[in-house]
Amino acid sequence: MFRRYWQPALLSEELPERDGAPVRVRLLSEDLIASATRVGALAWSMPIARIGGRRCSMAANEDCGLRCVYHGWKFDVDGSCADLPTEPANAGMKANTKIKAYPTVERGGIVWAYLGRRR
């Protein structure tokens, strides 16, 4: 039921600086990473890590996105893949690779996240 409502995720002042260390947030039993350039909440695990049954939870804010420091894959705050340096450009994998991302807004000094279903 709580997923149907906007949840306070963190204070605006807790957001990282541009290209600074990302902030980890646990919200409704989900591990998220807060991005600062455009406010966003992304899942900790990267798609390549899930293939092997492991989670990659090391990420860095980089130029309006979140990059996995282990695999090099970069995602924007909407969860779309922005860069796949380990794959050939013509492979088409970039268009089909996404991570879970939730809508967020910043109001009244608080970052709010909506973890419910999108209509």
Buried b (16+ CB within 10 A) or exposed e, 1-30: eeeeeebebbeeeebbeeeeebbebebeee
Which long-range contacts (C-beta less than 8 Å, at least 24 apart) are formed by 51-55? none
Among residues 16, 23, 15, 91, the alpha carbon closest in space to that of 57 is found at: 23
CATH number, domain with residue 17: 2.102.10.10
Give, in degrees to the nearest 5, the angle at Cα 61 between 16 and 5. 65
Range of the domain at 74: 2-113
- The residue that leads in pLDDT, 28 or 22, is 28
**Is residue 25 in a domain?**
yes
Q: Is it the case that residue 4 has pLDDT exceeding 60?
A: yes
Q: Is it the case that residue 58 has pLDDT exceeding 50?
A: yes
**Is residue 78 in a domain?**
yes
Could you tell me what percent of the chain has a pLDDT over 90?
10
